[in-house]
């Protein structure tokens, strides 16, 4: 059993928790994930490590309430316990030797991007961060990104905060002004990452994407995170986001296939979420 040390809502649909898990905290690195179960009857879900404190033995997770399991997890409070918390899993993001990097995060994907920005900043890298949200109400982690970035651009689709537009607006402006980076690292919705990759491609700058959004069971057994990659020689290979990633060369990823496969689970997830919410409602009554 793993104790919830701290819980904080970041907005109406996103929650942050610090979990007491000293063995995981000892080895966790940016880009990796854990697998948890809320209770003995619950499903396993992967969540990316959003931070860790090796001294206190805690691991931070940030999750969006989109399905039955995240709804159950959000019912837990400080001092409560969750059943399982296994990790760290996945390959850490490669950061060695990087001197100037652009981090592009979207929505709850910013929770994954933040520890990468923080690690780069700590090693003396010049970090430019671009974070985007649909509206001001969904904004998360702005202060944390400010502290880890030499430059920070905040974008909202509706213009309710920061600048109006998507994350590619400042990215394209930087490229047009002649800015170069050792690497662009992007994490967020698949459609956002697809367009960040498209914007970066003409520059030839390496572009890394995190395929966390397509992971389901975190072991490769379900096949839900199967990913088609096309290398520079035209060869097609199949990888799994959880066991081979979650980071991949963005230029090689078949985003259209990944988005099509992800859409297959939306009705199921919505049904499970609504069923869980109805149970909570009945318990309250």
pLDDT tens-digit series, residues 26-66: 999 999 999 999 999 888 888 999 999 999 999 999 999 98
> Containing domain of residue 72, as a range?
2-89
Rounded to whole angstroms, the Cα distance separating 272 from 259 reads: 21
Helix (H) or strand (E) holding 228: strand 226-230
For residue 143, give the DSSP letter: H
**Quick one: pLDDT at residue 99?**
97
pLDDT of 98 > 70? The answer is yes
2 strand-pairing partners: 82
Q: Beta 58-64 vs 14-20: how paired, if at all?
A: antiparallel
pLDDT in tens, 116-164: 999 999 999 999 999 999 999 999 999 999 999 999 999 999 999 999 9
pLDDT of 202 > 90? The answer is yes
Rounded to whole angstroms, the Cα distance separating 101 from 80 reads: 39
Residues 112 and 85 in one domain: no
Residues 223 and 115 in one domain: yes
- Domain assignment present for residue 110? The answer is yes
Phi, psi of 28, deg, nearest 5:
-65, 145
Residues 157 and 59 in one domain: no
Residues 169 and 206 in one domain: yes
Residue for token digits 């990796």? 32
Q: Which residue has the higher pLDDT, 67 or 266?
A: 67
**Quick one: pLDDT at residue 224?**
64
Residues 78 and 114 in one domain: no
Q: Beta 163-164 vs 151-156: how paired, if at all?
A: parallel
Total domain count for the chain? 2
- Domain assignment present for residue 285? The answer is no
């Amino acid at each position: 059993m793993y104790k919830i040390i701290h819980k904080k809502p970041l907005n109406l649909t996103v929650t942050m928790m610090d979990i007491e898990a000293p063995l995981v905290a000892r080895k966790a690195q940016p880009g990796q994930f854990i697998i948890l179960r809320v209770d003995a009857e619950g499903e396993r879900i992967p969540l990316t490590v959003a931070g860790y404190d090796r001294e206190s033995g805690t691991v931070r997770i940030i999750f969006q309430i989109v399905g039955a399991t995240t709804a159950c997890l959000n019912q837990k409070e400080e001092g409560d316990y969750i059943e399982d918390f296994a990790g760290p899993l996945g390959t850490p993001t490669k950061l060695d030797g990087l001197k100037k990097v652009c981090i592009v995060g979207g929505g709850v994907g910013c929770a994954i991007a933040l520890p990468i920005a923080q690690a780069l900043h700590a090693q003396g890298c010049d970090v430019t961060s671009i974070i985007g949200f649909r509206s001001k109400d969904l904004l998360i982690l702005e202060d944390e990104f400010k502290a880890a970035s030499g430059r920070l651009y905040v974008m909202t689709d509706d213009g309710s905060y920061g600048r109006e537009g998507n994350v590619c607006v400042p990215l394209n402006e930087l490229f047009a002004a002649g800015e170069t980076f050792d690497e662009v690292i992007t994490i967020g919705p698949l459609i956002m990452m697809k367009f960040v990759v498209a914007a970066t491609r003409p520059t030839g700058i390496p572009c890394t994407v995190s395929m966390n959004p397509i992971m389901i069971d975190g072991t490769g057994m379900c096949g839900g995170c199967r990913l088609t990659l096309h290398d520079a020689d035209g060869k097609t290979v199949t990888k799994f986001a959880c066991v081979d990633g979650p980071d991949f060369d963005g230029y090689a990823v078949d985003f259209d296939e990944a988005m099509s496969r992800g859409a297959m689970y939306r009705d199921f997830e919505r049904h499970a979420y609504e069923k869980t919410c109805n149970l909570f409602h009945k318990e309250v009554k």
